[in-house]
Amino acid sequence: MLGKVKILVVEDEILIAESLRMMLEGLGYEVPAIFNSGSEAIKNFKPGFADIVIMDIELADNTNGIDTAIELKKICDPPIIFITNNTDERLRKKAIYETSALHYVSKPFTRLDISIAIDLTLKLAGDKEIASKKANEFSYLMNDSIFVKDEGSFKKIMISDIRFLKADGSYCNLYLKKDNIMFCENLSFLEGKLSFAKNLVRVHRSYLVNINYITKIQDNRLWVEDEEIPIGTTYKKDLGELIRFI
């Protein structure tokens, strides 16, 4: 990572949030923002906003860190470090396995606890990135198609046949001209795999659309043939730069 590592804090206890900010800045990290609820974090988060998210599991406004992490993963899948004073083993496992969190720190924590958690998270995140790059070094991608698993074999799908992809929790539905396929992967993961297809564009945290199928745009909505799809504020400008209006 170039420059300072940016760490977003999502914590509803003001004193803990401020103490955490001071710890992080003292360790040489940048804190772009502090949010006290999951809804606030989801509303303001966007790709590149933070390299790591440190988040309490129990948040203000009846939101929680687990559901918030699942929603953030739809946007860009940031590494998550959970902090909590909850000792419930079931909740701990849910937080780790349902969100792929890279670390879990119990309250009260020390500066050393946070420093170690960040170091381990950066190492794990770096290892994943390196592994992904190595895998792609030896793969050949045809820019007009992909192969998807279908009952023990792989079926060829033309990129031109993909109308849009829609997030469904930790899963994702791919809508084709005449069919649809459910993947056991989130939208951000598939967006990365399909990054070579320049006609597939993210328009909302839950939607990736083929701009060749857009038939109408109105305010914060667009239509892919007869399917109405919302346009997220974060993505509206980028979409506008790809389309000619007269």
pLDDT of 27-65, one tens digit each? 989 999 999 999 999 999 988 888 899 999 888 888 888
Model confidence at 195, in pLDDT bands (50, 70, 90)?
Answer: confident
**What values do phi and psi take at 50, rounded to 5?**
-150, 150
Q: What is the pLDDT of residue 97?
A: 73
CA distance 232 to 148: 28
Q: What percentage of the chain carries pLDDT values higher than 70?
A: 89
- Before 230, cis peptide (omega within 30)? no
CA distance 21 to 236: 31
CA distance 150 to 74: 24
